[in-house]
């Protein structure tokens, strides 16, 4: 019987899958993020063959060493795996897996939720109405901006970026331009999308910029003050990827100064902290890293993480093993 440690309670379907496989599953007794020393202490309590970890866990050489030599896989309950030192895992022969695919539709939906909410001023309008300020229909009340037929700039054409592009073109007759390290001509043909090799050229033209890159050294602060200044003053910035891709303090300035018109964020540079001043602004929508958080999808992510563990325990290849070149 293999022993599996789960760093925090996840949807039951994933836990059930592991138990049905005959494994001994231990869920962290604390329903909160474990500090690194707490995680190390939990891992040292027993000898685990597999660990199911979360994006809020920092998984590095110290953690691998605490887990010991019998551990075969750390299955991350997320598509992003910037919380894991993949090189340190490879050096120790530990497999790392993620949960791609199952959350693509959900994150794309949340991206549009954010995009439409900022453009139609939904949160601001909700606050206004609840505050009893609605005194009757008015021609100039809370005017927003249409998404239809606008130019959407997709930064990072992975599964999620491509799905957002699809909805933008098919659902809103939008024009799509994209920036990525790789060009995808098939995608261009399918959606009439335009490749912008230089990010600057996308930023200059897009009415909405939506970020879908993984967090890497090369994407940290990809959107900084200089890049925001290249955007149109009427443009919106949407981020459902990872917070550090945007220089959040610079974004607060850009939103205050009217460098750009608005932003909608699901992720932050120092989660769960927000950059000073961000929460006071009306031209921003803020959600707490919930882009994949639907009942359906969080269940599927749990099952997929379990599938990866089961495959490795049975000596098969993990279906979603990641290498350093994830894209
Ligand atoms: C969530 O942020 C994920 O990477 O799945
Ligand atoms: C994630 O699944 C991505 O490739 O965007």
**How far apart are the CA of 297 and the centre of ligand 1, in A?**
11
Confidence of residue 50 (pLDDT cuts 50, 70, 90): very high
Confidence of residue 105 (pLDDT cuts 50, 70, 90): very high
Q: Are 112 and 91 in a shared domain? A: no
Domain that holds residue 312: 3-102+295-323
Question: Any idea which residues carry the catalytic annotation?
Answer: 242, 271, 289
Average pLDDT value for the chain: 97
Mean pLDDT of 138-151: 98
Mean pLDDT of 238-267: 98
Which of these, 237, 241, 306, lies nearest to 268 by C-alpha position? 241
Residue 130 has pLDDT above 70, yes or no: yes
75 close to 307: Cβ distance less than 8 angstroms: no
Query: Which CATH number fits the domain that encloses residue 68?
Result: 3.40.50.720
**How far apart are the CA of 129 and the centre of ligand 1, in A?**
33
Q: Are 159 and 266 in a shared domain? A: yes
Confidence of residue 326 (pLDDT cuts 50, 70, 90): very low
Q: Are 93 and 17 in a shared domain? A: yes
Tell me what percent of the residues of the chain surpass a pLDDT of 70.
Answer: 99
pLDDT at 187: 98
Which of these, 7, 22, 3, 21, lies nearest to 68 by C-alpha position? 3
Q: Are 246 and 268 in a shared domain? A: yes
pLDDT at 185: 98
**How far apart are the CA of 208 and the centre of ligand 2, in A?**
19
Mean pLDDT of 298-316: 98
Quick check: CB of 326 below 6 Å from ligand 2? no
**How far apart are the CA of 64 and the centre of ligand 2, in A?**
26
Q: Are 162 and 258 in a shared domain? A: yes
Q: Are 282 and 304 in a shared domain? A: no
Mutation choice for ligand 1 from 14, 54, 55, 326, CB with most ligand atoms inside 8 A: 55
Q: Are 47 and 193 in a shared domain? A: no
| Protein residues with CB under 6 Å of any ligand 1 atom | 55, 78-80, 103, 292
Residue 40 has pLDDT above 50, yes or no: yes
Q: Are 111 and 249 in a shared domain? A: yes
Quick check: CB of 212 below 6 Å from ligand 2? yes
The total number of structural domains in the chain stands at 2
Confidence of residue 16 (pLDDT cuts 50, 70, 90): very high
Confidence of residue 323 (pLDDT cuts 50, 70, 90): confident
Q: Are 115 and 91 in a shared domain? A: no
Run of H or E including 304: helix 295-313
Q: What is the DSSP string of 201-269?
A: HHHHH-SEEEE-PPP-TTTTTSB-HHHHHHS-TT-EEEE-S-GGGB-HHHHHHHHHHTSSSEEEES--T
Residue 325 has pLDDT above 70, yes or no: no
113 close to 264: Cβ distance less than 8 angstroms: no
Residue 230 has pLDDT above 90, yes or no: yes
Task: Please report the atom of ligand 2 found closest to the CA of residue 327.
Answer: 4
Residue 231 has pLDDT above 90, yes or no: yes
Mean pLDDT of 81-108: 98
Quick check: CB of 214 below 6 Å from ligand 2? no
Residue 51 CB contacts under 8 Å (≥ 6 apart), including other chains: 4, 5, 6, 7, 43, 67, 71, 73, 74, 75
Q: Are 195 and 301 in a shared domain? A: no
Residue 295 has pLDDT above 50, yes or no: yes
Distances (CA, A) of 308 to 147, 190, 316, 320: 39, 32, 9, 7
pLDDT at 181: 97
pLDDT at 327: 36
Q: Are 26 and 137 in a shared domain? A: no
pLDDT digits (tens, 9 = 90+) for 54-83: 999 999 999 999 999 999 999 999 999 999
Q: Are 188 and 158 in a shared domain? A: yes
């Amino acid at each position: 019987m293999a022993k599996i440690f789960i760093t925090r309670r996840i949807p039951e379907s994933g836990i059930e899958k592991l138990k049905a496989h005959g494994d001994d599953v231990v869920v962290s007794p604390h329903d909160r993020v474990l500090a690194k020393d707490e995680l190390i202490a939990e891992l040292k309590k027993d000898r685990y063959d597999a660990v199911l970890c979360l994006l809020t866990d920092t998984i590095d050489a110290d953690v691998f060493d605490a887990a010991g030599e019998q551990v075969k896989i750390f299955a991350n309950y997320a598509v992003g795996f910037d919380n894991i030192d993949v090189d340190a895992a490879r050096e120790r022969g530990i497999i790392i897996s993620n949960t791609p695919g199952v959350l693509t539709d959900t994150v794309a939906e949340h991206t549009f939720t954010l995009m439409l909410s900022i453009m139609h001023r939904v949160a601001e309008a909700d606050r206004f109405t609840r505050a009893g300020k609605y005194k009757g229909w008015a021609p100039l009340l809370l005017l927003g901006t249409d998404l239809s037929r606008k130019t959407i700039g997709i930064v990072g054409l992975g599964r999620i970026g491509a799905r957002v592009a699809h909805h933008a073109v098919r659902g809103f007759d939008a024009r799509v331009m994209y920036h990525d390290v790789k060009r995808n001509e098939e995608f261009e043909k399918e959606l009439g999308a335009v490749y912008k090799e230089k990010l600057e050229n996308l930023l200059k033209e897009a009415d909405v910029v939506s970020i879908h890159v993984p967090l890497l050294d090369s994407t940290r602060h990809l959107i900084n003050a200089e890049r925001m200044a290249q955007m149109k003053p009427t443009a919106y910035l949407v981020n459902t990827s990872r917070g550090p891709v945007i220089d959040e303090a610079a974004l607060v300035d850009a939103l205050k100064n009217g460098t750009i018109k608005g932003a909608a964020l699901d992720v932050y540079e120092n989660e769960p902290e927000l950059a000073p001043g961000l929460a006071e602004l009306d031209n921003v929508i803020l959600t707490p890293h919930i882009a994949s958080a639907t009942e359906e999808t969080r269940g599927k992510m749990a099952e997929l993480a379990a599938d990866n563990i089961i495959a490795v325990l049975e000596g098969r290849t993990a279906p979603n093993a990641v290498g350093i070149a994830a894209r």
